[in-house]
Amino acid sequence: MRCLSMNQKLNFLIFLAFLSLFTIGCPGGGGGGGGAAFALFGLGGGGGDVPAPKLEIQYNGVSRESGSTLDIGSEPIGTADGKTGTVTIKNSGNAAITLPGSPNIVALSGTDASQFSVTQPATSSLAAGASVTFTLNFKPTLEGAKTATIKIQSSDPAVGSFQLNLTGTGGAAAPRLAVSVGATQIAANGSYGLGSVEIDSSGTAVTFTVRNTGSATANLDGPPAVTATGTQFVLNLAGFPTSIAANATATFAIQFSPTGLAEVKSSNIAVAYDGGLSFLFTVTGTGTPKPVPTIAISHNSSSFTSGGSIPTFGVVWPTLTSSTKTVTISNTGTATMTGITLSKPSGHSGDFTISAFSAGATLAAGASGTFTIQFSPTATGSRAAVVRVATTNGTNGAASSADLNVSGTGKTGADVLVSWTGTNEKAPNDTDGGYKVCYSKNTGFNPADVNGTTIFCTDVPNTGGTTPVSKVISVPTFGDWYFKVYSYGKHNTVGGSPSGQSSVNVPNT
């Protein structure tokens, strides 16, 4: 082995990492037998990757290798917009990268460079992990295959110059439609949202612009040239033409008018042209619940929204009035309730009184009001009537009516037990004679003046072997009543002198 000088030894690099020890021996100077040994343990002190940039080019989300060919496809000649794609320049390394190309970062060249165009990235420097885009456009003026090349210079030591070969085909002139709303372009087979509209209402009509981005006139199929699959999306095609020249436009409108359930609704829209071609997209809208009033009727925490029988007022003396029963009407909906009325359409309507509704004829959403019912019998016995609560829109916007059955009893009398000490005698089985119990609301009355309206008398005759000493009397009204008892016999039918007067108070309950 030839020995190296010291400088040569210092510059000698050995790439044999698989050896743990490598020794080179050289004879000593002056022909001596000595030698020198160099041991190499690894290639550096700390290990790890050195920070470096890395250029990555993507088209339609797919990474492309330098020198590869990108086929843009076919485009009719003479179109206004051409075919456009987006190219991404990304720094996949861990150090900043620069794009020093001048005068353009992206240089376009080649035989048919005039048939292509590129925009320039917004920056010439990318931090680690950052990216920037530029637009590639193919707008042929002549039919046939077209080629060009783009080059991007970078500080990536591995790919200092990135080259992408472009191909495209210029096709025959042809129409091509695009649809937009204002500045918003709708993708083919894409969708456009028309927002939210209340059920049974109509949203604002939205204008759609159809543009012929091709290079030949588009002959629209029709009528109609535009169709929808959803009946809740109303098309307005007034003035829509039968053809659209290259780079010309036409408009139509869609109005979302949802019905039925509150939910997301959709319709497919087709703009058909040239007997088989069409631009397809979908419109969507959300039908939201319509604000409506909803009535709720209650009494003592029980629901009577659908009507029913209010608990009875019980027994009440005619000419008196019962305690009140309170009924609550609530609007549990989301809109104002209107046309609230109270009535007594049937039954003993004169025996029941209802107050005015505290909230009047309308009730705001979430609000409530009350009215009261009282029983004032005009006669004795069972009394009943119907109290009707009605609105013009209380059932989710529709008219409502609920009948409340009310009832009570007009009191016919009160029982009073009258007792006395027997004063007349009779033989067994003797049935003649007995007692008279007379009563009146007038103190000091004379039983001889009995008239059946203000003074009443009831016979309590002797029965075989029994001398009566008490009688239950039913008085027709409440208040103070006065009682007298006298006896009579077979031969003294007028009777003797009455007893002393006694009184009892009959309550009004």
pLDDT in tens, 378-435: 999 999 999 999 999 999 989 999 999 999 999 999 999 999 987 765 555 555 778 8
Q: Are residues 347 and 386 in the same domain?
A: yes
Q: Are residues 333 and 350 in the same domain?
A: yes
Q: Are residues 330 and 255 in the same domain?
A: no
Q: Are residues 246 and 347 in the same domain?
A: no
Specify the pLDDT at position 424: 64
Specify the pLDDT at position 449: 86
Residue 341 lies in a domain: yes
Specify the pLDDT at position 14: 34
**Contact (CB, 8 A) for 109 and 166:** no
Which of 260, 288, 316 terminates a domain? The answer is: 288
Q: Which residues of the chain have pLDDT under 70?
A: 1-49, 424-431, 464-465, 490-495
Specify the number of domains making up the chain: 5
Q: Is residue 429 classed as helix, strand or coil in its secondary structure?
A: coil
What's the rounded Cα separation, in Å, for the pair 277 and 210? 14
What's the rounded Cα separation, in Å, for the pair 445 and 502? 11
Reported pTM: 0.59
Q: Are residues 262 and 324 in the same domain?
A: no
Domain range for 15: 1-44
- Spatial neighbors of 430 by CB under 8 A, at least 6 apart, are 462, 464
Q: Are residues 166 and 65 in the same domain?
A: yes
Residue 422 lies in a domain: yes
Q: Are residues 358 and 282 in the same domain?
A: no
Residue 180 lies in a domain: no
- Spatial neighbors of 12 by CB under 8 A, at least 6 apart, are 4
* Burial degree of 74 (CB within 10 A; 0-12, 13-18, 19+): middle
Residue 502 lies in a domain: yes
Residue 49 lies in a domain: no
CATH code of 110's domain:
2.60.40.10
Specify the pLDDT at position 230: 87
Q: Are residues 480 and 466 in the same domain?
A: yes
* Longest CA–CA separation in the chain, Å: 188
Which of 272, 288, 304 terminates a domain? The answer is: 288
Residue 367 lies in a domain: yes
